[in-house]
Structure 1
Amino acid sequence: MIRLGVRLALGGGRDALIRLVIIASAVALGTGLLLGTLAALNATGTQNDRNAWLNTGRDGSGGAPAADRQEGAAADPLWWQLGADGFQGKLIGRIDVAATGPHSPVPPGMPRLPGPGEFYASPAMSALLRDTPAGELAARYPGRQAGVIGDAALPGPDSLIVVVGHRPAELAGQRNAVKVAAIATLSPSTCNGPSCDIGTDSNGMILILSVVAAAMIFPVLVLVGTATRLSAARREQRFAAMRLIGATPRQISVISAVESTVAAAAGVAVGFGLYGLLRPLLAKVSFTATPFFSSDLSLTTADVLAVALGVPVAAAVSARIALRRVQISPLGVTRRTTPRPPRATRAIPLALGLLELGFFIGRRPATSGGQALAFLPGTLLVLGGIVLAGPWLTMVGARLMAARARRASGLVAGRRLADDPRAGFRAVSGLVLALCVTTGAVGVIDAMVHERGVPSSPEPVRNTVLSDHTEYLPGRTVGTAAQPADGLLAALRAVPGVGGVTVIHSDPAAFDRSPRGDGGGLADCTELAAMPVYGTCPPGARTASVPVGFSSYGLGPDPSWPSGWPAATASPEQLRRLPVTQIAVTTDGSRSAVETARTLLAAAYPADDPPYTIAEGRGRMSAELDGYRQLADVVIAVSFPIAGCSMAVSVAGGLSDRRRPFSLLRLTGVRLRTLRGVVLLESAVPLLAVAVVAIATGFLAAQLFLQAQLGYSLHPPGGEYYAIVIAGVLAALAVIAATLPLLSRLTGPENTRNE
C-alpha cells in the first residue's frame, strides 16, 4: 500500500502533480515561517542574555558590589559606573571603569580593561564617532580609542556602547560609582527588580514569548493544515471508488497518509531552504528594540526534530480527518450526502476563554509565572474557540443570506454554504484569526498609551538640552554641582542654534513654593528672558522662584506652566554661590546645536549623569510602550500575510474540488457571471460574518485582560486600526477576485465526467 500511495502521489497524472506541487509549496511557506518564528524566539533570549554584564554592580545580578562578594571574587576589585548618554535620539550606554590592580575583572568583548585616557567602543559607536565632528560627540570621551567591543557584549549590531577608562581616584567617591569584584552573568530574563534593570526581565520575556507563540505560530499551523487538505473532495471520490472495488479502510488510510506525507515531506525540505533565505531578513526584525545578529537566529535540535517530524505527521492526521467519510462508507461520498450541520455548542470554548480571562479581574496572580498561566490558556481558548465556532457562525450567516436572496448567485451560495459551512469557513479562518489578534493587540496597546502616555510639548521644549545635578533626599531636592564657569556659559551661548541658557540653583528656604511640589529653585531673570517658553519674570524682578528642574514640563494633570514666575529676594550674585540643580539650554533642534551643547556640558561635568534632551527623556519614559507597540506591529505584519496565503490556498483548492458541479451548472444554462458571484459570496459571507464576531471578541478579550492585569479600560482605537482592518478585508477580496478567471477554464464540458 505504501508503494501504491507513492505511485498515486507522483504518477497520478497532471492533476495529481499540480496538487502535489501546490501542497508542497504551501507547506514549505508555512514551514519556513514556523522555523523563522522559532529562530526569532531563540534569538530574543540569546540577545537578552548579552545584557547581563551591563547590570554589574546590582545585588542579585551575579556582579554585586565587592563588599558583598566573599568567594570567587577577583583579587583586585573594579570601579564601575554605568550611565546613559544620547545622540540624536539614540541611546548610548556609557560605562566608566577603573582597575585597582592587574587582576581586576574584564567585561566580555574586550581583551583588557581600558586604561586612563582610553576607551573601547562598539562597532556602531565607532562608526558614529568617525562620521561625527569631534565637537559633537568624541569630545565627551577624552583620550584615544583602544579597540572595538566584540559581539559577545552587544545586544545587537546597532548597539551604541562605550567603555571609558579612568584612574581609581577619578571614580572613587562619585555618587554612582561602585566597586565590584565580578562582572554580572545573570541574564535579565531570569530575574525581576533592580538587579536586571538593563534588558528585558522575566515578566517581559514571558509576555514576548507568550504573545508571539500564540499569535504567530497558531496562524502558521492553520496554513499547514489548510494546505494538506487541498483537493480533499477529489481524493474522497478516488478513495471511495477504491473502497467499492474492495479496498479496506486500513488500506485507504495508508494510501491517504502516504500521499499527504510525501507532499508535506517535500514541503518541509523546501521550507528549511526557505528559512535559510529568510534568515537575513529576520535579522532586521526584532521583538524587542534591537535587531538580531544573524548568528543569534539559530534552531535547537528539538526545534528541527519537532518541525521535520511534526509537520508530516500533522499532514497525515489532517488527511485522515479530511477523509473520515470514506472510512465509514464509500457510498456516503459517491452519493454526496450532506454532512451534519455544526451546532451552537461549538461556541462553548470561546465563551469559556472569555470567562477565564474575566475570572481574574480582581484576582490577578502576584508572580509573572502565575500571570502567564492565568492569561495564556484563556487567550489560546479564545483563538481556538474562534476557529471552532467559525463553521456554526458561517452556517447562520449562510441561512440568512439564502432566506433573503433575490438572485440566483445568492441563493446557490447560501445553500452550498449552509450544506458545508466547514469548508466555507476554512478558506477564511486564517484571516479571521489575524483580525482577532490584531484587534486584541491594538486594544491593549492603545489603552496603555492612553493611560501611560506622555503629553507632547512644544518643539522648543522638546529640543532643550538638560544637564541634571540633583540629589533626592527625604522631603527635599538639592543641587550637587557648582556654578558653571563663565567660559562654559559663553561657549554654550555662542553655539549656532542655541537660544538661551538658564542655570537653576537650589533654594533651601523655598521648597513649598514650587507648583510641582518637587522642591524650590532659583533662576536669573536675564537668563529666563532668553527662553520665554519656560515662563518669564515679573517686571523689575532680577531673580525668580522656579522648580528645581524643567524636565517635568508638560507632565502631570496640568500640561502647561504659568507664563510668569514669582519674584525672589535673592540677588543674581547670591545665586552664583548656591548649588546648581539643572542647566537648561534651548536649541533649534539641529544636530549641531544639540550635540555640541551636550558635549560641552558633559565635558564640564564628567562625574554627573550625561546631558539629555527633553524629547529623549520622554522617549525613555515611554520605552516600554514603544516595545509593546513594536511587538504588536511584528505580530500584525506576520499574521496577515500568513492569513492571506492560507486563504489563497483554500480558495484555489475549493475551486478545483468543485469544478465538476460548476461544470454541470454551466451545462444547464447558468452563466459564468453567476458562478463568479457564487464563488465571491461563498468566501465573502463567512469572512464578514465571522470577522464581526472576531473583532468583537478581540476587543472584549482586550478589555478583560486590561481590567485583570492593569486595571485599565478599553479606549476607542485610532485611525490606524481601521486602516489595517479595511486593508486586510480588501486584500482578502482581492485574493478571491484573483481566482475568478480560473472558472472559465475549470468549468468546461470535459470536467463533467465521473473520475
Structure 2
Amino acid sequence: MIRFGLRLTVAGGREAVSRLVIIASAVAVGVALLLSTVAGLNAVDSQNVRYAWFNTGFEDSQPASDNAPVWWQPSGDNFAGNSIVRFDVAGTGPTSPVPPGLDRLPGPGEFFASPAMHELLATTPHDQLGARYPGHEVGIIGDDALPSPESVVIVVGRTAADLEAAGAKQVRTIGVTDPATCSRCVIGNRTDAMTLILSVVAGALLFPVLIFIGTATRLTAARREQRFAAMRLVGATPRQISVIAAVESTAAAVAGTVVGFGLFFIIRVPMAAVPFTGMPFFPSDLTLSATNVLIVGLGVPLAAAVAARFALRRVRVSPLGVTRRVTPRPPRAWRLIPLVVGVAELTWFIGRRPPTSMQQVAAFLPGFLIIMVGLIIAGPWLTLVGARLLARRANRPATLIATRRLADNPQAAFRAVSGLVLALFVTSVAVGVITTIVAYRSPQAANEGGDAALIMWAEPDDRANPDVLAVPGVRSATLVREDPSVRETGPGMNLPGVVTCADLARTPGFGRCPDGAQTAQVWPELVGYGEAADPARVWPAARFTVAEAEKLPAMTLVVNTDGTTATIERARTVLERAYPDRVRPPWWDGDFDNDFTRALTGWQQLANVVILASLPIAGCSLAVSLAGGLSERRRPFSLLRLSGVPLRMLRRVVLLESAVPLLVVALVAIGFGFGAAQLFLRAQLDYTLVAPGMGYYVTVVAGLAASLAIIMSTMPMLRRVTGPESARND
C-alpha cells in the first residue's frame, strides 16, 4: 500500500505535483523557522558560556589550584556608545593562569585587544581613546574568548605592585562558570529573559506557518476525498485508506523537512546578525544538537501522517460520507470565550508582576498565545456577524450571493484570511510595545543648551581640574562635596551634595544658588534621577561657608562639555589617566542611552523579522486557499455562468467572500493587539500605551492592499475554471 500511495501522490499530473510542492514549501518554511528558534536558544547559551571568564573572581566557588596567582582587576569603560570591558592583569609566575583567546599574559606596557577594539584604536585619534592604555598592542584576542564579533575587550598588562596598590585581587583560576548558573556573576545574558523573548517570537512566527501548512494540506481536499471514497466503494478498507493518505502527506512532509534544513543553513548567517541579546552572534553559535535534529527530522513527518489520518476521518466512517454533506451549523458566540480568557489572564498580572523572568514567561506568554488561539476560534463567528450586517444593506446580486455563501460556511471563508489576521495582531503588539518603550525611555539631552555633563565618582580632587579644563570644548569642572550629616542621618529632605555658589555660577546650565547664599545643596550629578538639567532651577542653600565646604570630602566631579563626542572622549581620557585605578570610569547620560538604544535596536529587528516573515507567509496562505477554493467550486461557478451570470459578477462574489472576513476580523485583531500590548506594558513596566507613528498605519494599509491584490490576482483563474466543460459531472 505504501508503494501504491506513492504512485497516487503524483498520479494527478500537474495538479498533484503542484499540491505536493506547495505542501512541501509550507513545511520547509515551518521547519526552517522552528530550527532557527531552537538554534537561537542554543546561541544564547553559547554566547553566555564565553562570558564566563569575564566573571573571574566573582564565581560562587573556585576550584583549588596550584597555579601561581595572577593579579586581576576588571573594570568598565565607554567610548562613543561602545561599552568597553577592560582587565588589568599581572602574572606572578610561569604558571599564572592565562585568559582564553590569549597565548600569554601581557607584560607591563603591553595589551591584547579584541578585533572590534583593535579597529577602534586604529581609527580613533589617540587623545580620545588610545591614551587611556599606556603601552602598545601585542596581539588580538581570539574569537573563542569573545561573546560576540562586536565585543570590545582589552587586557592590559600592569606591574604586580601597581595592581596590589590599586586593590586588585589575586586569582589562581580563570572563571569557567556559566553566568546563567552563577548567583554572584556580574556579567552575562539573562537566559530566562531570552527564553521569554524567543518564545513569543517563535509563537508569532509558527502560528502563520501552521495555518499555511493546514491550508496547503487541504488543497483539493474535496477531490481527494472523492477519490478515496471511490476506493472504499470498490473494496478498500479504512486502514488501507489511512495508509495511502498518510503516505501522501508524509512524502510532502519529508521533502519539506529536507528543504527546511537547507533553508535554515542559508538564513543562519543573516540571523546571527540580529542583536536580540544586545550584541550579534557568531554564525557558528547557531547550532543544532543531535536531539534537536532528531526531534524535528522525525517529528514533522510523523505529525503530518497523524494530521492526514484525522483529516480524512469522514471517508473512513463511510464511503458515502463525502456525498452526505449538509450546511454546517453556524458558529455561536461562545467562540469569544478564549479571547476573554486571554485578556483576563493578562489583566490579572497588573500589579502582580512575577519577580523572576522565568515566572514572567509563565505569566505573559500563555496570555498572548490564548488570544492568538482565540482569534482563530472567534474568527468564523465574527465573519458570520460581518456577513449578516452586509446582507442587511445588500442591493446587488453579487453581494447577496457572497453574503449567503459566507453565512452558510463562515469557517471556510475565515480560514483563508486567518494567517493575515494573526500577522496583524502580532504586528500591533510588537509596534505598540516598542513605540511605548521608546516614548518613555528615549534619550534626552543633558540640558537645554545641548551640553553634556561628564561625571567622575570615587572622591576626585582638584588636581584634575586644570588638565580637564584645558580640553577644547570643556566649559567648566564643578567639584561636588559630600554633606556628612546627610550620610549619617539618611537623605530625609536634604540633598547629599554640597557645592560652592562660585563653582555653580560657572555652570549656569545646571541651576543657581538662592540670593545671598555661599553654598547650596545639590544632587551629586547636579541633576536628579530621570531629570534634565534646568538653568532656572534654584537649589536650596546649604549651612556651610565656603571655607567649611572646601574641607568636606569630595564626592563627584561634574565636567560640563559642549556635548560633542570628541570633547567628551578627550575629557574622559584625561580623567582616566589622572585616576587610572578607578573601577567605575567617568560617565555621562549618553552612555546609558546608548545601551538602551542597542537593546532597542535588537527588539526592533526582532519585530521586523516577525512582521516581514509573517505577512508574506500569510499572503501565501491566502493565495493557496483562494486557488484551492476556486478549484473546488468550479462546477457550481460554471453552472452559474451557464445560467447567464456574467463573469464580472462572479469576480465580485469572490472578492467580497475574501474581503469581508479579512476587514472585519482584522479590525478586531488590531484592537486586541493594542489591548494586549497595553496590558503587558502596565503589568511589566507600569507604562501606558503610546499611539504608534505613521509607519505602523502605512504597514497595515500596505498589508491589506497586498492582500486585496492577491485576491485580485486569482481572477484570471476564475475564467479558466468556470468554462462549460467544468459543469459536467466528474
**TM-score, normalised relative to structure 2:** 0.89
1:143-542 aligned within 5 A: 143-174=135-166, 177-191=168-182, 195-334=184-323, 336-360=325-349, 365-445=354-434, 453=441, 456-457=444-445, 464=452, 466-470=454-458, 480-485=459-464, 488-492=467-471, 495=472, 498-506=473-481, 508=483, 517-522=494-499, 525=502, 528-529=505-506, 532-535=508-511
**Letter matched to residue 521 of structure 1:** V
Give the counterpart of 2:77 among 70, 85, 96: 85
Q: CA deviation at 1:405?
A: 2.1
Comparing 141-150 and 608-617, the one that deviates more? 608-617
Summarize the Cα distance change of 1:750–1:18 in structure 2 as closer, same or farther, 3 Å threshold.
farther
Q: 2:629 aligns with which of 654, 664, 671?
A: 654
CA contact (8 A) 1:29 1:271 kept: yes
Aligned to 1:54: 54
Task: Report if the CA contact (8 A) 1:466-1:585 is conserved.
Answer: yes
Counterpart of 1:582, as a letter, is L
Distance 1:138 1:40 in 2: 36
Q: 2:118 aligns with which of 100, 120, 126?
A: 126
Q: Is the alpha carbon distance of 1:670 and 1:735 closer, same or farther for their aligned partners in structure 2, counting shifts above 3 Å?
A: same
Distance 1:458 1:744, change over 3 A: farther
Structure 1 counterpart of 2:134, one-letter code:
P
Q: What residue ranges of structure 1 are gaps of 5+ in the alignment? A: 63-68, 471-479
The alpha-carbon distance between structure 1 residues 533 and 560, as it changes in their structure 2 partners (threshold 3 A), is: closer
Aligned to 1:11: 11
What is the alpha-carbon distance in structure 1 between the residues aligned to residue 450 and residue 182 of structure 2?
Answer: 34
Report how far residue 141 of structure 1 moved: 1.2
1:547-696 mapped onto 2 (5 Å cutoff) = 547=522, 549-550=524-525, 552=527, 555-556=530-531, 560=534, 562-563=536-537, 575=550, 579=554, 581-589=556-564, 591-608=565-582, 609-620=584-595, 631-696=606-671
Question: How far is 1:599 from its partner?
Answer: 2.1
CA contact (8 A) 2:275 2:602 kept: no
Query: SS of the counterpart of 1:601?
Result: helix
8 Å CA contact 1:156–1:292 kept in 2: the answer is yes
Corresponding position of 1:477: none
Tell me what 1:476 maps to: none
Q: Secondary structure at the match of 2:104?
A: coil
TM-aligned CA distance change 1:337 to 1:288, over 3 Å = same
Give the aligned residue type for 2:393.
R
Cα distance in structure 1, aligned partners of 2:501 and 2:94: 50
Query: SS at the partner of 2:649?
Result: helix
Give unpaired runs (5+ residues) of structure 2.
Answer: none
Alignment of 1:105 onto 2:97: yes
* CA distance, structure 2, for counterparts of residue 748 and residue 305 of structure 1: 48
SS of 2:83's partner is: strand
Alpha-carbon distance change, 335 to 145 in structure 1, aligned in 2, over 3 angstroms: same
Q: String of CA shifts for 1:134-169, please: whole Å, max 9, x gaps.
A: 222211111111211122221211111112121222
The 5 Å alignment of 1:716-731 reads 716-719=690-693, 720-731=695-706
Which deviations, in whole Å up to 9, do the C-alpha atoms of 1:433-481 show, x marking residues without a partner? 222333334444555556x6367235777652514123xxxxxxxxx12
Does the CA contact (< 8 Å) of 1:502 and 1:528 recur in 2? no
Change in Cα spacing, 1:216 to 1:182, as seen in structure 2 (3 Å) is farther
- State the 1:365 CA deviation: 4.9
2:255 & 2:303 partners in 1: Cα distance?
14
The structure-2 alpha-carbon separation of the partners of 1:152 and 1:381, relative to structure 1 and needing over 3 Å to count, comes to same
Distance 1:648 1:6 in 2: 27
Bigger drift between 151-160 and 615-624 goes to: 615-624
Partner amino acid for 2:95? H
Partners of 2:2 and 2:243 within 8 A in 1? yes
- Report the equivalent of 1:715: 689
Q: Give CA-to-partner distance per residue, 1:30-82, whole Å, 9 cap, x none.
A: 3222222222222122222222222233353x5xxxxxx5x524543333333
Q: How far off is 1:584 after superposition?
A: 0.9
Matching residue's letter, 2:666: A
Identify the residue that residue 45 of structure 2 maps to in structure 1. 45
Identity %: 53
Q: Secondary structure at the match of 1:612?
A: coil
Stretches (4+) displaced over 6 A: 459-462, 512-516, 537-541, 566-569, 621-626
- In structure 2, C-alpha distance between the alignment counterparts of 1:515 and 1:547, rounded to whole Å: 14
Q: Deviations over 1:533-560 (max 9, x none)?
A: 223568999x75363543746725x874
1:748 aligns with 2:727: no
- TM-superposed deviation, 1:132: 1.8
Query: CA 1:368 to 1:536, structure 2 compared with 1: closer, same or farther past 3 Å?
Result: closer
Q: What is the CA-CA distance between 1:527 and the residue it aligns to?
A: 8.0
1:754–1:124 Cα change, 3 Å: farther
Name the CA distance, whole Å, in 1 between partners of 2:351 and 2:469: 58
CA separation of 1:501 and 1:316: change in aligned 2, threshold 3 A? same
Amino acid at match of 1:468: M
Question: Scaled by the length of structure 1, what TM-score is found?
Answer: 0.86
Q: Which moved more, 1:437-446 or 1:592-601?
A: 437-446
Relative to structure 1, the CA distance from residue 35 to residue 510 in structure 2 (aligned partners, 3 Å threshold; closer, same or farther) is same
Q: Tell me how far 1:655 sits from its aligned partner.
A: 2.9
Deviation at 1:19, TM superposition (A): 1.9
**Deviation for aligned residue 1:97:** 2.3
| Equivalent residues, number | 725
Alignment partners' CA distance in 1, 2:254 and 2:365:
31
Aligned-partner Cα distance in 1 for 2:160–2:595: 31
Tell me the C-alpha RMSD between the 2 structures. 3.5
Judged with a 3 Å threshold, the aligned counterparts in structure 2 of structure 1 residues 463 and 149 are, in CA distance, closer, same or farther, namely farther
Tell me, in whole angstroms, the C-alpha distance in 1 between the residues paired with 2:319 and 2:327: 14
Contact conserved, 2:496 with 2:524, CA < 8 A, in 1?
no
Distance 1:164 1:209 in 2: 37
Q: Is the 8 A contact 2:274 2:606 kept in 1?
A: no
One-letter code of the match for 2:588?
T
Distance of aligned partners of 1:280 and 1:370 in 2 relative to their CA distance in 1, 3 Å threshold:
closer
In 2, Cα distance between equivalents of 1:146 and 1:74? 28
Question: Secondary structure of the equivalent of 1:415?
Answer: helix
User: Aligned partners of 2:179 and 2:617: how far apart in 1?
Assistant: 32
Matched letter for residue 341 of structure 1: P
| Compared CA separation, residues 325 and 345, structure 1 to 2 (3 A) | farther
In structure 1, what is the Cα distance between the partners aligned to 2:126 and 2:615?
46
Q: Give the Cα–Cα distance (whole angstroms) in 2 for the partners of residues 615 and 515 of structure 1.
A: 29
Within 2, Cα distance between the matches of 1:217 and 1:72? 48
What residue in structure 2 maps to residue 474 of structure 1? none
